[in-house]
Amino acid sequence: MGSRAFQHHPRAHARPNLHERMSTHVQAIYPFEERLIPGHEYSVISLHPIWAWAVVFGGKDVENRTWAAEPRGRVLIHASVHKASLASEQDMRAELSFLTGIPRAELPVTFLRGAILGSVEIVDCVRDAPSKWAVPEHNHWLLREPRKLGSPVLGVKGKLQFWRWRCRDRTFGRMPKGATT
């Protein structure tokens, strides 16, 4: 994966949509959008939809895993198709609200599933990250500089561990009719 495969630009020219309005708390801190290049292959990691949203829009600077991250550098963030139980999802939303400082009423009601939302840079993997997102007894992937996609890439089936995805003209930036983020 070459560094030219990722391009970003100030989001000043992006058109407002629900995907953008959801992230108003983070936009001033992370003002860049990711632009994918058709034909390029990218490294991707799938996360639970709530935590994928938190990485791209909520300031989540640590990903907790039982295994250490070997890859470093920019990776795409994929919201898995996993659907949690209602009770579990409510607990995660409460935790997300607490950790981000975003009132629950301002969080998305539902989170995209089966979609690439943006990218983040993995800079290290440690056991004792001083982050509010760090879970004890886990490996902590240190994340920085999240970038959202102007439009998420929908209908992408994820995989376990890191995986490769090739951007195609027909998948990039195309939202099904009536879909919102």
pLDDT, residue 27, reads: 44
Our measurement of the distance from residue 120's CA atom to the centroid of its chain's CA atoms, rounded to an integer in Å, reads 7
pLDDT at residue 172, rounded to an integer: 47
What token pair was written down for 47? 């996360």
**In CATH, what number does 38-166 get?**
2.30.130.30
Q: What is the separation of C-alpha 72 from the centre of its chain, rounded to a whole number of angstroms?
A: 16
Residue 125: Cβ within 10 Å count:
18
pLDDT at 74: 94
pLDDT in tens, the chain (181 residues): 444 454 443 433 343 343 444 444 444 444 467 788 888 899 999 999 999 999 999 999 999 999 887 778 999 999 999 887 778 888 999 999 999 999 999 998 889 999 999 999 999 999 989 999 999 999 999 999 999 998 899 999 888 889 999 988 655 444 444 434 4
The residues, any chain, with a CB within 8 Å of residue 139's CB and separated by 6 or more, are 64, 65, 66, 67, 68, 69, 125, 126, 127
